[in-house]
Structures are given as structure tokens and as C-alpha cells.
Structure 1
Amino acid sequence: MSSLDGTHVIIAGGGIGGAASAFALARKGARVTLFERSAEFGEVGAGLQVGPHGSRILQSWGLLDEVLADGVLPRSIVFRDAITAEELTRVDLGDEYRARYGGPYFVTHRSDLHATLVAAARAAGAELYTGLTVTDVVTEADRAYVTTDDGRTHQADVALALDGIKSRLRAKIVDDQPVSSGYAAYRGTIPYADAELDEDITDVIGYIGPNCHFIQYPLRQGTMLNQVAVFRSPGYFAGVENWGGPGELDSAYEHCHQNIRRQLKHMWTDRWWPMYDREPIENWVDGRMMLLGDAAHPPLQYLASGAVMAIEDAKCIADYAAADYVPGGGNAAWPQILKNVNAERAPRCNRIVETCRFWGELWHVDGAGRIARNELFRTRDTSSYQYTDWLWSYSSDRVA
């Protein structure tokens, strides 16, 4: 595998995907410049789930132990009925699971994972700048010209757009807008002792019910509890402009078990997250610019793979580039590298986006649909991996 010494990559966006891409490319020898629009690097201090498809990559980068030091290894993923609190099924995340998938399933603060990736990118030699927004990327001949909102234009061999679900650079490829699910999410990360729980939570627990769900899991070695409340917003479907507000929160869970209702007081109500994705697209490339992360394939959160997909993107483009780049003359290889990465990643990521939509519908059914779903979950073969191998076994390994 060749080094990327001599090539220059500019990255728009410094979230988890941008930081991961900066690190993955810099460690292969590329000169990397990243522009983040925020005044400083950071992520909302809420929880994040990372499956073995992400932990294997972090392990290969030498970062997993550092991330796990601040995280939690849950015993299982547990699904419960939101109305009765009955356990419907579980996925054991123990030794057999880890052996099958080559890595653990863990949960962590988004901010902890992000900080690790930012520090690793800097240590690998990437140049990271805050307070600058990439406003345009234009390809001319064998160069990408990247304009930032300070009026400057920067040259590179290739530009990667990781500027999120509201990506302005996506408009260079497709004329579309984020698609609303009509659901709003509330988060609340609190000291574990403040939750006043009837049971000790060592799993990822998902209560699924009519038009809503509720997620719980511990963070930071069990000292904190992360909780997420997601519900169908009446305001959205009534055409309210600022839909999903705090006035809808309690009533959205009136039909649910007390395990959920008594935790709603811990949700942050000064902010909430209307849930959007985008229609899947097959092409992510415009000349020497490529969309990655949520700019290319923002999912709803039901498979807990949004951040992991961005990490997969980072590994994929770094590996493909290092396999096909020729030092001293490798700039000409970039269009084919981007094409190959697009062909590898689009089917995978678009499947996740589409499956997340279906999974969300399944979680939130009512009436006969809920009865049938619960029976399906109760009777599933918990020793079978036939429905999860496609997600957690995936690898985009590319070697010279």
C-alpha cells in the first residue's frame, strides 16, 4: 500500500465524520486541511451507540481503548413494549457476539468520541481550523478550488464535503431538501443517581410503542444515564411552524408505562431535535468533490449507525486512496478513487437509510400491528444473526 505523501485534501465540516476522515487520510500521509464553521470543536453532550462495525475500525486505528475508557460496554440490547414494559426480545452483546463480529458494541458520549478523533487528527498532522465555513467547491482541470466565507480560495487535489444533513455543498449534485419524519427527539443526560430507577440499567433499553419510543443506557462508566424520548409530533401534522415543542412532550407519553413517564422530567426542554433524513442518492461526486457522512446519507437513528457510517466512509476513502495513489503522479488517480469509493459506499449507506425508515415504522405501530410486532419479537430466534450480519459484519477493506 502506497503513502499519500504529496496529495492535499480539504475537508468541509469538523464533526465526527470530518474528524475521522482527517485522521484516516493524515495517518496515510496526506496533507489534510479541515474547515469547521463553529467557533470551536464540540458535540452535544448526549449519548452515542457504536456497533462492532465501528469499533473494529477504531481498533485498527489504535483508538478503541481510549474511547472505551470513557464509555460503557452494555450487556445487551433490550426491546420492551412502551405501554406494558414487557421485555419483547434482546440481543446478547457478550463473548459470542464479540467473537462473531470482531469487536464490541459500546456506548459513549458523542463529545468524548469526537474529542478523541479531533486529537488524533491533529496528532497525525492534519490542520484543523474553526470559525470558517466552506461556501463552494469548484473543479478546474486537476484541482479543487475551495472557497471559505472569509473570501479566500484554497487549492487541493480533492475536497470532501462532510458538512452535515443541511449540507450546502450537496446542492452541487442534487436539488433536494431534508425530509421530515414528523417525529421530534428530546435528550437528557443526567447523573445516574438522579434518575431514581427501580432497576439497575446495564443494557441499552428501547421502549417501543404507538407513535413514540424511549431509549435508556448508562454512560461514562455508569456514572451517567442517557435518555432519549422520540415521538410523533401532532404539531407537525397540523402545520405548526415550530413543531415538536415541549408542550407536546408529556402528552406524547400519556399512554406509556410509568418507567417512561417519570423520566420525562429529566429531558432537556430548552432544545429538541426534529428528525430528518434525505432521499438516498446514487452519486455523491462532483468533479473532485465528494459528499460523505450525513451530507451524503443522513439516516434516521433507528439502526444507531449514523456516526459509524461516517467512520466507515473515512476508512474507505483513506484505504482506497492509499491503494491506488502513486506518489509523484497520484493526483490523476483521484477521480477514479472517488468513483470507486462511491460504488462501494452508496449501496451500503442507502440500504441503511431505507431500513431505518422501515424500522421506525415498525417501532411505532399501534393496534393489530403492535400485537403482531410484539409476537414477532417474542418468538424470534435470539441465537440467529441472519438479520444483523449485513449491518455489523460489513467491511470495506481495500488493499494494494
Structure 2
Amino acid sequence: MFEPEPSTEAAITEVLVIGGGMTGLASALALSRNGASVTVVERAREFGEVGAGLQMAPNATRILQRWGLLEKARAIGVQPRHLIFRDAISGEELTRQTLGGEFEKRYGAPYIVIHRSDLHRILLDACREAGVTLVTDAAVTSVETVDGRATARVASGAVYEADAVLAADGLKSRMRREVSDDEPVISGFVAYRGTVPITEETPQDDLENVVVYLGPNCHLVQYPLRKGELLNTVAVFKSPSFERGEEQYGGVDELQNAYVDCVPAVRNALANVGLEVRWPMYDREPIENWITGRMVLTGDAAHPMLQYLAQGACQAIEDAATMQDVTRGTVFPGEGSGGGVDVDAWDDALREFAERRAPRTARVQRTARVWGASWHVSGIGRTLRNLLFASRGDGNFQYNDWLYLPVADEG
């Protein structure tokens, strides 16, 4: 549904969020829970998400629970029984983590897999119910701060004034250029993704689990979605054409060649991915400064990361919860207060937000790179990796705690 943007006369809002993806909607919802007047502007003609499945670890589902959205996510998602890693060449199981029982008790929330579009719709509906103003077909071209007020200009000529602007405009963020001249980093790896209906012909092994096959310069992930009606498959491999600078590639020979030495279960799973679009994998180097004037970066605009820890959406939701925490009781008197903004408190709130989030997200970014490198080794590296994975028993939480346990400042 198209929701027209305002005229060139400035529209006034307490908080303007640039970007209507997962990060933008989560941030808008979190601040609206503090009583803020929030406007979200999205450059596309409608709100929506592309892609397939998402893994939502306890550090994110704990926040969905806090917002009263966890049961909606449970109702449409799947709570897998195990996370299993296997060697893609031999097929042997390397390690597994039981995701219920002690795991859920330890981290205070479940591990859920959900379709991206389903979680996006849950957040969008929650924003509408909270009274967030949602505007489409509005590409923000600039933001400037004068006398403690931010002014955002849209390509069409529309103007917004706000006490604060949250730039949630993704990996290739236009707003990030205001604080950094860096560029996205090419990983050399690409992904093909797809979802297919689960039928009687679908191999029944592991339809209740998240399964990751690790191979030299490739891996493959499978898990069920939508209450077990769909099978989600992601094939990731090192791409010579991407390393040459080609985001898209007309042939599929690279895909087949990357998995030629893998077990039949992996090779056969390639039939489940769509070949129309491939997803090039980028991240960026961590940066310390996310703020210029009254604008702050958030989500992938601030800390894009590779997918190996399955934390992109999770860290965006953590961002939103932290923004809620640092503005409650300072910028805003309290939840449901109906406003009462103290504009002088915004500078401190944005600074505290970045100080809390930048070190943690930088660690996730860097760890994701190391984790991915360990997945794709060959030769003696593969042998050592397999031995290390096999040495970890189910119920060993030493590699999870730093990421999944509540952080000290979590509300």
C-alpha cells in the first residue's frame, strides 16, 4: 500500500528513522514504546523484505519477548531441536547443540528460525499499532543539524525536522558517508537461497534441525520454516566472478563446481535454491564514530557483518533495544508518557548508544570473519577444524555465552 509523503513544508517529528527494513522498524517500535512520535521513511514504494530464512538467537528473541512479540514469532516460525554441524566432504557429524531445555533456560529465550518477510510483517504491524507514521517512496538525500534540530531532505523535495535521526539505510548506507569515507569489503563469497515446500518426497532427516555442512570454500545451511511447511536452503561459496567485481553472474557453473566434492545430500540440496539472483557477501571494517550532529547510524549502516554467526538481524534488534534504554528516563520520562521530550538530552543519549553498541558489534563483526574462515578450510586446516568441533560436547556453552547471555546494560 502506497502511503504518500508530506508536502515540501517541513513535517515535524521527534524521531525520524531512515529505512523501513528490520532495523528501522525495530528502532521505531522501541522508541514509540517510550512515548516518542516516530516517522519512518522508506525509499521503496512499499514496505517489505526480500530473502528467505532468519535464525533468531536468544539475544534477539529475549528482546522480542520484552516487546510482546515473541509468541507471534513462535506462531509462524519454527523452534528447531538442534543446531548440527557436519563435514560436507565426508558427511560426518562434527558437533551439535541442543536448543531446548538447558539452552533455553540458560539464555532466557528460545532459538527460532523464521522467514524474513514474516518477522518484518510482525514488526510492521506492531509499528502501525503503536502509531508510528510510515512513509514510502521517500529517498533521503541529506541530513543536517542546526541548533539541535535535524533537517532531512527527500529527493522529491519533502522536508522533515526531528530532534534525532536514526539512519537505518543498510549495508550501502548513503548516510554513513557523513561519518566515514569507507566502502563495503568484498568477502569473495556469494550465496544462492531458496525455499521449497516440504513434501513426502523431501528427505525427512533433520527437518526439525538447523544443519550446516562445512566444506572447502563452501558451506550449505538447511532448516524448516513456517511451522515446517517450507525447507530453507542457503548455499554459500567462494566465487571467482565476484572476486573480479561481478555482483551477478549469468551462469550457474560456479555453483555446481563449488560443491562437486561434497556428499550427495549437499549436492542434491542445490536443486532447492533459486538461480535468478545471487547474494554477494560484504561487510565493513568496524568504525568507532556513528554520529554526526543529531544523526546516528544503526543496524547494517553502522555495523554490517558477514552471516556466519547469524547475527545481522539479531544485532539490529539489540540496537533498537539499547536505543530504547538510553532514551527512557532521560530523553523521555518513561514508557507511555506521551512525549515530553528534553531535546538537550539527545546528545548524551546518542553518545551513550554508540558507546554501548560499537564495541560489541565490532566484536561480532570480527568474530564472524574468523568463524567463516574456519568453516571453509581444506587440507590440514580441515582436519584440525574437525577435531576442534568434535571435541566440543553438546551442552558446552563456552562459545555461546558472550553472544547469547544478557549484556550488562540490557534492560
SS in 2 for 1:104: coil
2:107 and 2:406 in contact (8 A); partners too: no
Is 2:192 the partner of 1:181? no
Structure-1-length-normalised TM-score: 0.95
Q: Is the 8 A contact 1:145 1:153 kept in 2?
A: yes
Q: Tell me, in whole angstroms, the C-alpha distance in 2 between the residues paired with 1:244 and 1:182.
A: 17
Instruction: Note if contact 1:244-1:274 (Cα within 8 Å) is conserved in structure 2.
Output: no
- The secondary structure found in structure 2 opposite 1:283 is coil
Q: Give the 3 Å change call, closer, same or farther, for CA 289–364 of structure 1 in structure 2.
A: same
SS at match of 1:147: strand
Name the amino acid aligned to 1:18: G
Alignment of structure 1 residues 325-344 onto 2, 5 Å: 325=331, 328=340, 330-344=342-356
**Alpha-carbon offset, residue 193 of structure 1:** 1.3
Per-residue deviation, 1:237: 3.6
Is the Cα–Cα contact under 8 Å of residues 344 and 396 in structure 1 kept in the other structure? no
The 3 A distance-change label for structure 1 pair 129 and 338 is same
CA distance in structure 1 between the partners assigned to 2:230 and 2:127 by the alignment: 28
Q: 1:236 Cα deviation (Å)?
A: 2.9
Change (3 A) 1:198 1:236: same
Partner in structure 1 of residue 34 of structure 2: 28
The answer to whether the 8 A contact 1:183-1:232 is kept is yes
Alpha-carbon separation, structure 1, partners of 2:324 and 2:162: 16
Distance in 1 between residues matched to 2:32 and 2:181, nearest whole Å: 32
2-side partners of 1:311 and 1:97: how far apart? Answer: 21
C-alpha separation between the residues in 2 aligned to 1:20 and 1:240? 32
Indicate if the aligned counterparts of 1:246 and 1:269 stay in contact, CA closer than 8 A. Answer: yes
**2:329 and 2:410 mapped to 1: Cα distance?**
7
Q: Return closer, same or farther for 1:158/1:239 CA change in 2, 3 Å cut-off.
A: closer
Residue in structure 2 matched with residue 61 of structure 1 by the alignment: 67
Query: CA 1:172 to 1:306, structure 2 compared with 1: closer, same or farther past 3 Å?
Result: same
Please report how far the alpha carbon of residue 194 of structure 1 lies from its aligned counterpart in structure 2 after TM superposition: 7.2
Equivalent of 1:273 in 266, 272, 279 = 279
CA positional deviation for 1:130 = 1.0
Amino acid of the structure 2 residue aligned with 1:366: S
**Are 2:373 and 1:361 aligned?**
yes
Distance 1:169 1:294 in 2: 11
**1:80-134 C-alpha deviation (Å, 9 max, x unpaired):** 0011111000111011001000000000000000000011011111101111111
Contact 1:45–1:189 (Cα < 8 Å) also in 2:
no
- Residue 128 of structure 2 is matched in structure 1 by 122
Task: Give 1:264 shift.
Answer: 1.1
Aligned equivalent of 1:303 = 309
Query: CA offsets per residue over residues 203-235 of structure 1, 9 Å max, x none?
Result: 100001100000000001111100000000022
Map of 2:326 onto structure 1: 320
User: Considering only aligned residues, what root-mean-square deviation do their CA atoms show, in Å?
Assistant: 1.7
- Identify unmatched segments of 5+ residues in structure 1: 1-5
Instruction: Tell me how far 1:396 sits from its aligned partner.
Output: 5.9
Tell whether the 8 Å contact from 1:233 to 1:244 is kept in structure 2 after alignment. no
The alignment covers a number of residue pairs equal to: 394
Deviation at 1:254, TM superposition (A): 0.3
Using structure 2 for the length normalisation, give the TM-score: 0.93
Contact preservation (8 Å) 1:244, 1:272? no
| Kept in 2: contact 1:48–1:107 (CA 8 A) | yes
- The correspondence for 1:379, drawn from 391, 394, 398, is 391
Give the Cα separation in 2 of the matches to 1:125 and 1:101. Answer: 32
Bigger Cα displacement from structure 2, 214-223 vs 256-265: 256-265
Post-superposition CA distance 1:17-47 (Å, at most 9, x none)? 1001111111210000000111111112510
Whether the aligned pair in 2 keeps the contact of 1:209 and 1:366 (CA below 8 Å) is yes
Distance 1:241 1:113 in 2: 27
Note if contact 1:44-1:111 (Cα within 8 Å) is conserved in structure 2. yes
2: distance between equivalents of 1:205 and 1:384? 18
* Contact 1:195/1:225 (8 A) holds in 2: no
For the residue of structure 2 that corresponds to 1:183, the secondary structure is strand
| Whole-angstrom distance in 2 between the partners of 1:182 and 1:59 | 37
Shift of the 245–390 alpha-carbon distance from structure 1 to 2, 3 Å rule, reads farther
1:1-400 matched pairs, under 5 angstroms: 8-193=14-199, 196-197=202-203, 199-238=205-244, 242-243=248-249, 246-325=252-331, 328=340, 330-395=342-407, 397=409
SS of alignment partner, residue 262 of structure 1 = helix
- Would you say the 8 A contact 2:242–2:280 is kept in 1? no
SS in structure 1 of the partner of residue 199 of structure 2: helix
Q: Determine helix, strand or coil for the equivalent of 1:360.
A: helix
Please list every run of 5 or more consecutive structure 2 residues that lacks an aligned counterpart in the other structure. Answer: 1-11, 334-339
* Contact residue 19 and residue 169 of structure 2 kept, 8 A: yes
TM-superposition CA deviations, 1:261-304 (whole Å, max 9, x none): 11212210110100000111011111100000000001100011
CA distance 1:159–1:208, shift in 2 (3 Å): same
Instruction: Name the amino acid aligned to 1:65.
Output: E
Q: Deviations over 1:173-204 (max 9, x none)?
A: 00011101000000010101176315242110
Amino-acid identity (%) = 51
Q: Distance in 2 between matches of 1:161 and 1:396?
A: 25
Residue range with higher mean Cα deviation, 382-391 or 79-88: 382-391
Q: Which runs of 4+ in 1 moved over 6 A?
A: none
**Alpha-carbon shift at residue 243 of structure 1 (Å):** 4.8
